[in-house]
Structure 1
Amino acid sequence: MTSFLRSDRSRAVAIWLFAVAALVLAMVVVGGSTRLTGSGLSITEWKPVTGAIPPLSESHWEAEFTRYRNIPQYQQLNRGMTLAEFKGIYWWEWSHRLLGRLVGLVFFVPFVVFMIRREIPRRLLLRLAGLFVLGGLQGLVGWWMVASGLVNRVYVAPERLMIHLGLAFALLGALVWTALDAWAGGARQTLPSPWGRRGLWLTGLIFFQVLLGALVAGNHAGLIYNDWPLMNGRFFPADYAGPGFWPTVAHSQAAVQLHHRLVAYLLTGVAIVFGVAAWRSSYLARDSKLLALAVTVSVLVQALLGIVTLMAVVPIGLGVAHQVMAAATLCLAVAFSWRVRRV
């Protein structure tokens, strides 16, 4: 039987996967800008194929605007918006969805070509299929998120935003790991090192902090308590508790911001200890030490950027930069975790 395996590595496949990861990062950037500009509900229908074509005439624009005027966000927040203003928010959301379609296309077409040319290492086939499914699921979750803001709400449900962003970051991390595998080939030996577990634990903590940040974003909680290190002069905000457990942890603005702050302090401390210990380790190679140091520095920069963004009341530029830095931090942690497992 003919094998799919020409070689255990493929630099072409790796470059393709890094390119897809870059597009996913671009989606995160545009998605963050879409949220910060309040544009995410401007397209009220989900048309995976025909939706790629924007309105081409004034009558089409009027039809889109009429649909938008029927949802609570327009009626409660944007009543009186002009068609020109609507076009401004529409293009943000349309661009975000177009990038999603582009990611799917850039993944699927080269995947088929590489399969035909038998350039994909067999050990990566199932993983790549899983990444394609994860990307499709991300699109479905994106619409599920938008749908939550079309009836009885003026914004999307924060927990759905958290799932949507979490899937994007999970996809980004998995693409980076798989690209590194394709670039380097199969490991000659997997090291039974405690640093592998430590790297994954740190990566998991970074990912958890990203999820908490999504709840802050979804609740617009960065627009309140804009002092630091206290919250309106108190460590524990007076309006922390909601009417129950889930309303508190997912919907209380004070609670989600406090949780994000506390985990930021924990993550910063862990990252410093992690970086110092890795640099002093006689077990790790120099490139692993440099990656560990990069993770530590990235966490520190991200923490500082978060404080500045909060105190500036989340301007669009800083808000997007904070999200991009979170993605960079996660990717560095993934790269470290991958590297320390290999000889």
Structure 2
Amino acid sequence: MLGKYSRLNTAIARQYIQDKGQHLRRKFSSQPQHQYKSYNYKENPIIFNRINEQYVIKGKERVVGWWLISLSASVFSIVILGGYTRLSKSGLSMVKWHPHKVGLPKNNEEWEQEFEEYKQFPEYYLFNKERGLDIDGFKRIYFVEWAHRIVARSIGALFILPFSYFLMRGYLQPKLKKSLFALLAFGSLQGVIGWWMVKSGLVDKNKTIELDKTPRVSPYRLTVHGYSAYIIYGVGVWLAMNLLRRPQEAVINLANMADHASMRKLLLRSAHGILPLILLYGFFTSGIQGRYAVNNYPFVGQNWFLTRNHFQGDIPFWQNFTENKIVVQVIHRTLGTLFALLALKGGYEVYKMKNLTPIARKAYWLILAAITLQICIGIGAIWYPSEIWIPNLHQAGALTVLTSVLFACHTCRKVDPRHMRNLLGKLKIDDPQAYERMMKGFNKKQLSKTEMDAMKKFYEGK
């Protein structure tokens, strides 16, 4: 009986495939044979797939990609938790680093011991003692810092266990292996950097050259720790998109290649220029509590911008740009405003690019939306500095802007040179005159001079 139904289902499936094939043949036969303005799989097949050549074996793209997405989401969450740890002044509650220890104190005696150790350090006897911090208050701030460290170790386990499994099963190709080993080393170093940062807040600030003598971690070490987390997050997101999104060769043809290259250059100017500087100054602003310095926007007190009086002359001039609260806050928000204006200008340029794929165009609009929201949250953090949820939300907004920029860059990334040679070879056979016209102006619009020379050498022997 089962064999009978199996044969029947096979016959039905075979007939369906034949009918579907006839329908597709009729559909494609009615279309122009060489259409470069719109993409279809018949005209633009993916012959070379770098995903399977360099990243993972065929069929394992999604499982590895979603694992990387989960890792990136975990890093996103720990960055937000780390921001709350700092804003709630919980980061210095654990005065020892025990990488092997995961549990909370088990009884009152252990809690008292932890509290007595905390009392030996400046944050307690210079700050929290006057506020009347008791054992219950200490438990609250201790728990926040403990949760931050436990989540960090959980991310380590989330990385190592599946990574080991993928290695044993042979899912990963050499390029992705190298990237993930580098990410593992960098993530392990992040734990050491975290303790190095905390340790800077357990010393007497009167013995340092820092301007602010209140007990807190060094803004320089905080910046290194936070920026490293952003790098880990960005690399994870980029690798995940490489696996989960279809190859760029599936959407790039001779008609839209120039506009995608123009958008890529537009994005790289911000991604490699002003955005990293904004993020850097965001950490310095956070590390020195710069949101309290000036609480009006767009003015700086009674002025439109910084004046000579805002700079301190009794310290090295460069230190004003890293520890002077007014200067650092104003630079950070000015860079953010400039970035928003440049993004609007870029939006007009993207609007004029008529051959962009829809996903690339929407990705740029997503950047504009993320920047607009982030500017609004940033202004709120300036106007209401005592509300810790606003600057914490601002940090989440920074990661959102970074994600949107990475996604937009990924929609217009470079294609495999072999794919471009195929497109040019096809054009040379189908329309020699169009090929000659394109090769004359190719360097200016679509390829660098090195790439153009390589194409000419391949096709013309020049």
Question: Same-fold call, TM > 0.5?
Answer: yes
Look up the match of 1:97.
Answer: 149
Q: CA deviation at 1:187?
A: 5.0
Moved more, 184-193 or 31-40: 184-193
Aligned pairs (5 A) from 1:67-216: 67-79=117-129, 80-153=132-205, 154-184=215-245, 187-188=248-249, 193-204=261-272, 205-216=274-285
RMSD across aligned positions (CA): 2.0
- 2:288 corresponds to 1:219: yes
Moved more, 177-186 or 129-138: 177-186
Select the residue among 85, 88, 91 that pairs with 1:37. 88
**Aligned partner letter, 1:119:** Y
TM-score between the two structures when normalised by the length of structure 2:
0.70
Distance in 1 between residues matched to 2:56 and 2:149, nearest whole Å: 35
Q: Deviations over 1:62-98 (max 9, x none)?
A: 1111111111111111113101011111111111111
**Aligned partner letter, 2:82:** G
Distance in 1 between residues matched to 2:151 and 2:216, nearest whole Å: 22
Distance in 1 between residues matched to 2:374 and 2:139, nearest whole Å: 33
Question: Does the 8 Å contact 1:4/1:115 carry over to 2?
Answer: no
Q: CA deviation at 1:121?
A: 3.4
Percent of pairs identical after alignment?
29
Q: Deviations over 1:190-216 (max 9, x none)?
A: 968232233233223223211101111
Moved more, 307-316 or 235-244: 235-244
Q: Which of 1 and 2 has greater Rg? A: 2
SS at match of 2:271: helix
Look up the match of 1:54.
Answer: 104
Question: Does the 8 Å contact 1:29/1:320 carry over to 2?
Answer: yes
SS at match of 1:54: coil
Q: Any gaps of 5 or more consecutive residues in structure 2?
A: 1-53, 206-214, 416-462
CA 1:231–1:276: 2 relative to 1, 3 Å: same
Moved more, 303-312 or 272-281: 272-281
Q: Deviations over 1:109-146 (max 9, x none)?
A: 10011111222233311111111112112211111111
Q: CA deviation at 1:8?
A: 7.7
Give aligned pairs, total. 340
Moved more, 127-136 or 24-33: 127-136
Question: Does the 8 Å contact 1:10/1:185 carry over to 2?
Answer: no
Q: CA deviation at 1:5?
A: 5.2
Q: Deviations over 1:143-175 (max 9, x none)?
A: 111111000130001111111111111111110
Distance in 2 between residues matched to 1:279 and 1:137, nearest whole Å: 43
Question: Does the 8 Å contact 1:207/1:330 carry over to 2?
Answer: no
- The structure showing larger relative contact order (alpha-carbon pairs under 8 Å, at least 6 residues apart) is 1
- 2:339 corresponds to 1:270: no
